[in-house]
Structure 1
Amino acid sequence: MIVNVFYNEKGIGDTLIVSIQEITREQRAFETKGDVVKIFDEETKALSGFNIFHASRHFSLDANGKVELTEAFVDELNRVIQGAGFSEQLDVDLSPKFVVGYVSELEKHPNADKLSICQVDVGEGEQLQIVCGAPNVAQGQKVVVAKVGAVMPSGLLIKPSNLRGVDSFGMLCAARELAIPDAPQEKGILVLDDSAETGSVFSVSF
């Protein structure tokens, strides 16, 4: 389960936002128990997330934006959610979302001249298909991959997508998209030195 948690007391008050998946506003339904609000699809009952009010009463928080998840924090989330009377158990994917990838194959998109279809090795036998529009992408490069579930410094959530009929599962990142200081502004992904280890964590600070 991909879960993203956000907290910004100055921006939205003392509320912890637990986001699992987006649903349309028209289908959105709510159930409140104590300080916890469950958000779900009214028709399918698919869980969208939770809002936890008076969050500082339940958690020790020093985040201003995305909250870094650990096993201990997920355990606390489940304790608060279930303590309010909900039965849901968050089984969170805690694997790194920004990693070094190796572009093992590349072909031009059949329906878009400026797009390339990349097969990217992200370590531990995992291969991702990622559609990329960067003019400098090439086979054999070491690159920074934002996997599905990653939240970019801009706030963009990386989700599975379909670009001109081709499925894409992640993003190859430019330096400016990673908020690297003094990053070049021209279009193009960040190409890493060959010594970068495929599958290793790429640290993003924001």
Structure 2
Amino acid sequence: MIFAYNPEYVGDTLLIVTNNDKGLPQKVTRKGKVARIQTEDQCTVGWNIFGISQLMALQDVGQVELSQQQIGLLNETIHEAGFTESLPEIEGPKFVVGYVKTCEAHQDSDHLSVTEVEVDQGKTLQIVCGAANIREGLKVVVAKPGAMLPDGTIIWSGELRGVQSYGMICSAKELRLSNASEKREILELPQDKSIGETLVV
């Protein structure tokens, strides 16, 4: 679940992304200060909460982090507007330190690799990566499904050349770090970084 706030460009509105719309046509149902966004198959993919500053103070611009208490307040607002749905619970940090446990060449590509990346206490994600410097044993920045990159791109689970990928291993350029290389290579982190450590992007 992603929360975004940019009053200069979209007004005093909190944008909430809850699911991947997969490029399907959308329909919007508005009740008062709340709008629900659904795809044509009735899947709710997002919400807009208008006049959000009257409900809570948001300090950041762009992607914002909300507390469980604030999410509870949003759910109250959604229900008071006449909707029966609720926002899902927060699943934890979206950008973490990962450890590349395995790295094998993709069977249907000359540049993709299929990796198993540990992201927290033995939990691993299969991630397809196209960087030339990806290899077993690296500590890397992992964007889990539902993460939003600094340029606004949202990372979803998907399939690359017939292989499922559950997230992305990030480059310095994708993270918009200063002096980032223009090469297609992932950011290699120091080995003393802790697996699963939350990273602020």
Q: State TM-score, norm by structure 1.
A: 0.91
Identical amino acids, percent of aligned pairs? 41
Q: Which residue of 2 aligns with 1:180?
A: 177
Q: Which residue of 2 aligns with 1:140?
A: 137
Q: Residue 80 in 1 paired to residue 97 in 2?
A: no
Cα 1:147–1:22 change in 2 (3 A) is closer
Question: Structure 1: 5+ residue runs without aligned partners?
Answer: none
The structure 2 residue matched to 1:112, chosen from 109, 113, 119, is 109
The answer to whether the Cα contact below 8 Å between 1:70 and 1:94 also exists between their aligned partners in 2 is no
Q: Which residue of 2 aligns with 1:160?
A: 157
Superposed CA offset, 1:143-190 (max 9, x none): 111111111111110101111111101111111211222222222111
Q: Residue 171 in 1 paired to residue 168 in 2?
A: yes
Q: Which residue of 1 aligns with 2:45?
A: 48
Superposed CA offset, 1:92-111 (max 9, x none): 22401111111111110001
Cα 1:71–1:188 change in 2 (3 A) is same
The answer to whether the Cα contact below 8 Å between 2:20 and 2:156 also exists between their aligned partners in 1 is no
Cα 1:134–1:124 change in 2 (3 A) is same
d(CA) in 2 for partners of 1:139, 1:26: 37
d(CA) in 2 for partners of 1:55, 1:17: 10
Question: Structure 2: 5+ residue runs without aligned partners?
Answer: none
Q: Which residue of 2 aligns with 1:66?
A: 63
d(CA) in 2 for partners of 1:53, 1:174: 35
